[in-house]
């Protein structure tokens, strides 16, 4: 062990993946993680959905210092596929506790959870420590699955102990004593070279590399989600936006030290209500009012900057029913809706901020000049994007093709192209929405720094004149 005597642990330099599945014994995996770490292992945890109902990912993340893999479909912040990174870099995978259900899924190669997916994808040794009720353990199905894992897959099985079980009965099925599981991992890796000594090829650290607070002291306003335009008190015209991209932008801006106002229409993700000023809206008109008040005050104030950047990720309805019905419409003979176009909110903000007119526009616009970022969800081609950027008077336009796999509404990933007012075009690879958000904010931070540097130079020239 790597304790006070300074002797290297038996797993020193190894990466061990700890797969935890949904047994009552899942809490013991926290202690197992500690024991593996005490042997010098770098441990990354894979948590099945049912296991996360017994033990939260946070304990594992805090102790392992790696993000916990919980979802086969989720990408890491840097865009890599989490369970594949684990499968390719771990020296061993230890599944403890392994439930009867998990043994069945693994025996049949059903990779619906991160633990089976990583085991299927790895060429490293796998150690399995089952835990369950005594009758489940002795059932022929379980025994057949265990035999398959041991004989056909060459997995090391750490047989459960006999003792009192969660049901109150006594029998065989208790998770093996933890030192026995650690010994099995040590035996499994013995004589093998360390697979991936390069930390860069291993799973990332949970404590994300400390980002410079390059938006510290900035007020970033983000809009997110889809607006809902009422047809009657029950029905509305909506869209497929989940708000994921906008919320990722707000989270990323908070992480970089900005003070954030998030104006959220309909979203299907949690909002950072404790760290940002969050304003909830429903319709395009409500979004417009909330945004104009946040950006320019009410009534619109003199040209004092109340915000540094606006990132307009909301999917704003382009049309709204001209006269929503006061009472619920009945099916009757059918329905024809008369729609009116909604105001182009972003274009209006741009006109006011740039001093080019608009209601209450301060003549010279807002000083210092805020950075305006629009989004364009296109289908099939991004040809219309440069014109949209010009028409709306934006600094940056983030365009994506929502028909592309992995880039649509509700997905956790996005492939975007960032266009700028100088005609530049930066095509980003498929990234998690959080990683894409940070790349967008890299551009915002750089634009704000350039703005301030230009302002200082102008002020100096004025003083010297």
Measured in whole angstroms, the distance separating CA 441 from the mean position of its chain's CA atoms is: 16
187 burial type by CB count under 10 A (0-12 exposed, 13-18 middle, 19+ buried): middle
Provide the minimum distance between the beta carbon of 288 and ligand CTP in the complex, in angstroms, as a whole number.
8
Residue whose pair of structure tokens reads 């070279």 in the numeric block: 193
For 349, the token pair is 């903000």
Provide the minimum distance between the beta carbon of 248 and ligand CTP in the complex, in angstroms, as a whole number.
15
Which CB, 286 or 344, lies closer to ligand CTP? 344
CB 15 within 8 A of CB 89: yes
Provide the minimum distance between the beta carbon of 314 and ligand CTP in the complex, in angstroms, as a whole number.
5
Which CB, 176 or 247, lies closer to ligand CTP? 247
Which CB, 188 or 346, lies closer to ligand CTP? 346
- Sheet strands (E) in 209-248: 219-224, 229-230, 236-237
Could you give the CA distance from residue 349 to residue 309 in angstroms, rounded to a whole number? Answer: 11
Which CB, 269 or 396, lies closer to ligand CTP? 396
Q: Could you tell me the CA-to-CA distances from 94 to 64, 143, 188, 341 in Å, in that order?
A: 15, 19, 10, 58
CB 342 within 8 A of CB 282: no
Could you give the CA distance from residue 353 to residue 363 in angstroms, rounded to a whole number? Answer: 9
172 beta partners:
162
Which CB, 259 or 342, lies closer to ligand CTP? 342
What residues line the site for ligand CTP (CB under 6 A)? 284, 312, 314, 316, 318, 342, 344-346, 374-377, 388
Which CB, 128 or 312, lies closer to ligand CTP? 312
Which CB, 177 or 344, lies closer to ligand CTP? 344
345 burial type by CB count under 10 A (0-12 exposed, 13-18 middle, 19+ buried): buried
Tell me the H-state helices in 55-126: 57-64, 82-89, 100-107, 114-121
Q: How many CB atoms lie within 10 A of CB 20?
A: 34
Write down the catalytic residue from 145, 239, 400, 414. 239
Fill in the DSSP letter of residue 237.
E
CB 176 within 8 A of CB 157: no
Give residues with Cβ within 8 angstroms of 347, minimum separation 6: 391, 392, 393
- Sheet strands (E) in 244-343: 259-264, 277-280, 309-312, 319-321, 339-341
∠44-125-145 over CA atoms, to 5°?
Answer: 100
Which CB, 91 or 308, lies closer to ligand CTP? 308
Whether the CA torsion 272, 278, 282, 283 is positive or negative: it is negative
Check if 400 is active-site: no
Whether the CA torsion 137, 143, 146, 150 is positive or negative: it is positive
* Residues acting as catalytic residues: 239
């Amino acid at each position: 062990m790597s304790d006070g005597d300074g002797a290297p642990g038996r797993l020193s330099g190894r990466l061990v993946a700890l797969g935890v599945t949904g047994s009552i014994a899942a809490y013991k995996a926290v202690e197992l993680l500690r024991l593996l770490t005490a042997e010098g292992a770098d441990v990354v945890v894979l948590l099945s959905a049912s296991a996360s109902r017994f033990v939260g990912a946070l304990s594992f993340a805090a102790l392992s210092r790696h993000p916990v893999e919980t979802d086969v479909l989720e990408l890491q912040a840097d865009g890599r596929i989490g369970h594949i990174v684990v499968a390719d870099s771990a020296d061993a995978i230890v599944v403890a506790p392994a439930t009867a259900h998990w043994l069945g899924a693994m025996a049949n190669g059903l990779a619906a959870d991160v633990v089976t997916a990583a085991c299927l994808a790895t060429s490293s040794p796998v150690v399995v420590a089952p835990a369950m009720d005594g009758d489940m353990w002795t059932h022929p199905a379980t025994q057949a699955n265990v035999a398959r894992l041991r004989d056909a897959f060459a997995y090391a099985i750490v047989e459960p102990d006999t003792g009192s079980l969660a049901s109150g009965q006594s029998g065989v099925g208790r998770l093996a004593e933890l030192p026995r599981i650690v010994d099995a991992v040590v035996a499994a890796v013995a004589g093998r070279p360390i697979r991936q000594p390069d930390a860069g090829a291993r799973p990332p650290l949970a404590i994300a590399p400390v980002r410079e607070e390059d938006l510290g002291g900035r007020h970033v306003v983000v809009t997110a989600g889809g607006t809902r335009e009422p047809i009657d008190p029950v029905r509305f015209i909506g869209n497929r936006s989940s708000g994921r991209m906008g919320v990722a932008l707000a989270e990323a801006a908070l992480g970089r030290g900005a003070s954030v106002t998030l104006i959220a229409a309909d979203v299907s993700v949690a909002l950072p209500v404790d760290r940002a000023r969050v304003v909830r809206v429903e319709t395009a008109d409500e979004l417009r009012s909330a945004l104009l008040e946040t950006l320019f005050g009410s009534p619109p104030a003199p040209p004092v900057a109340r915000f540094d950047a606006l990132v307009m990720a909301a999917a704003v309805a382009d049309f709204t029913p001209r006269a929503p019905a006061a009472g619920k419409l009945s099916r009757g003979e059918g329905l024809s809706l008369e729609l009116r176009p909604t105001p182009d909110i972003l274009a209006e903000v741009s006109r006011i901020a740039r001093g080019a007119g608009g209601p209450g526009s301060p003549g010279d616009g807002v000083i210092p000049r805020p950075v305006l970022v629009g989004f364009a969800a296109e289908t099939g081609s991004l040809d219309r994007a440069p014109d949209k950027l010009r028409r709306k008077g934006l600094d940056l336009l983030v365009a994506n093709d929502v028909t592309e796999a992995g880039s649509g509404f509700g997905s956790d990933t996005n492939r975007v192209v960032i266009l700028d007012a100088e005609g530049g075009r930066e095509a980003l690879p498929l990234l998690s929405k959080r990683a894409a958000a940070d790349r967008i904010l890299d551009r915002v931070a750089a634009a704000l720094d350039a703005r301030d540097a230009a302002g200082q130079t102008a002020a100096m020239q004025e003083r010297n004149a």
